[in-house]
Amino acid sequence: MENTIHFLNGKFVPETELLISPRDLGYMRGYAVADFIVTHNHHVIKLRDHVQRLFRSAQVIGLHIPWTTQQLEDWIRETIKRNDVESEITLKTIISGGVSKSLTQAETPTIVIIVDRYRPHPSEYYEKGVKAITVDFQRSYPAAKHTNYIEAIRQRAKMDKNDVTDIIYHEHSRVTEGAGNNIFAVIHNILVTTKTNIIEGITRNILLEILHLPIPIEVRDISLAELATATEVFLTGSGRGVIGVVKIDDNTVGNGIVGPITREVAKQYDEYMQAQISDGQN
């Protein structure tokens, strides 16, 4: 994307000036929180929810933020305005502990809003579903959306080799979340989403607010054994919406196709988003 404008420490800068010190605690020690946003009709749905979650993540890891949520919302909106492009964009907001020569946070943290062109997932993911693998792993400070994606990156080569697009984490056989998304499963004709040690995704929370289905919805822990009995599984996230999972490890989910509940959930989510766009919500 040509002439991209990012936000860095109070200034709007081009790609060539998107630079931070290697002494920054986000780079040196991985001490940073982040949030990911996709624009819809050049607006952000649930912007306040995104920003508040970023502040909650910082609180969880003890990262001090000297700005208000309103300031951050204004910076995000202005960053969008300065990127006058026809296509939708993504914005990754990262706040780190700042430049430090020790383990002590700097007085002022580093803040950056990185802009990229939005690249939607292939349509076949939505029509045919995707494959996932399970990995026994628990993120540190799981209630915080931070920048430590070591395990997801470590698994990438294995995933690419086996035509797998997603990871489903579990902690000693208790299913938690994906690497950047939440998980739902239809188990014994009940739609269940996980509860413990997860990031509460914006898309997940929207669905819990809006869904009207012919089956009950529960928020509770799910075991790997239960997941193996699921007739439908889908993953949710801001960058993907709702994508069905048709194979987990070597096991086919249900009939191996995107099921009717998943399609209905995707339909209701798309209708909700279109209504928000029409109302000009931001």
> Locate tokens 């060539």: which residue?
16
* 146 domain residue, yes or no: yes
Same domain as 108, residue 127: no
Which residue among 84, 117, 150 closes a domain?
A: 117
CATH number where 100 lies: 3.30.470.10
Average pLDDT of the segment spanning 255-259 = 97
The pLDDT assigned to 126 comes to 97
If one counts the domains in the chain, the total is 2
Residue 178 lies in a domain: yes
107 and 13 within one domain: yes
Give the C-alpha separation, 218 to 51, whole Å.
Answer: 26
Query: What's the pLDDT at 269?
Result: 98
Give the mean model confidence (pLDDT) for residues 265-274.
97
Residues 208 and 255 grouped into a single domain = yes
Q: Is residue 92 part of a domain?
A: yes
Query: Are residues 94 and 128 both part of a single domain?
Result: no
Task: In whole angstroms, give the CA distance from residue 130 to residue 235.
Answer: 10
pLDDT band at 108 (very low <50, low <70, confident <90, very high): very high
Q: Are residues 146 and 256 in the same domain?
A: yes
pLDDT at 158: 86
Closest CA to 108 of 35, 22, 24, 15: 24
**How much is the average pLDDT of 31-41?**
95
Q: In this structure, are 190 and 90 located in the same domain?
A: no
Same domain, 69 and 131: no
- The pTM (predicted TM-score) of the whole model is 0.94
Give the pLDDT confidence score for residue 52 in this predicted structure.
98
User: Is residue 243 one of the residues assigned to a domain?
Assistant: yes
In which domain, by residue range, is 47 found? Answer: 5-117
CATH of the domain at 210: 3.20.10.10
Q: 252 forms bridges with which residues in the sheet?
A: 247
Interval 217-233 mean pLDDT:
97
- Report the mean per-residue pLDDT for the chain: 95
CA distance 154 to 151: 5
Residue 225 lies in a domain: yes
Answer whether residue 282 is part of any domain.
Answer: no
DSSP the chain: -TT-EEEETTEEEEGGG----TTBHHHHS--EEEEEEE-BTTB-TTHHHHHHHHHHHHHHHT----S-HHHHHHHHHHHHHT---SS-EEEEEEEE--B-SSSSPPSS-EEEEEEEE--PPPHHHHHH-EEEEEEE---SSTTS-BS--HHHHHTHHHHHHTT--EEEEEETTEEEEESSSEEEEEETTEEEE--SS----HHHHHHHHH---SS-EEE--EEHHHHHT-SEEEEEETTTEEEEEEEETTEE-TTSS--HHHHHHHHHHHHHHHHHHHTT--
pLDDT cut 70: percent of the chain above it: 98
Residue 82: inside a domain: yes
**110 with 202, same domain?**
no
130 contact partners, CB below 8 Å, separation of at least 6: 164, 165, 166, 235, 243, 244, 245, 246
Give percent of the chain with pLDDT exceeding 90.
Answer: 92
Q: Let me know: does 197 contact 190? Beta carbons within 8 Å.
A: no
Question: Do residues 218 and 145 both lie within one domain?
Answer: yes
| 83 in the same domain as 63 | yes
Tell me the pLDDT tens digit for each residue of 69-107: 999 999 999 999 999 778 899 999 999 999 999 999 999
- Better-scored residue on pLDDT, 170 or 87: 170
Pair 92, 132 in one domain: no
Contact, 164 vs 135, CB < 8 A?
Answer: no
**Domain boundary residue among 92, 117, 142?**
117
Report yes or no on 249 lying in a domain. Answer: yes
224 and 202 housed in the same domain: yes
**Is the pLDDT at 281 greater than 90, yes or no?**
no
End residue of a domain, out of 117, 132, 148 = 117
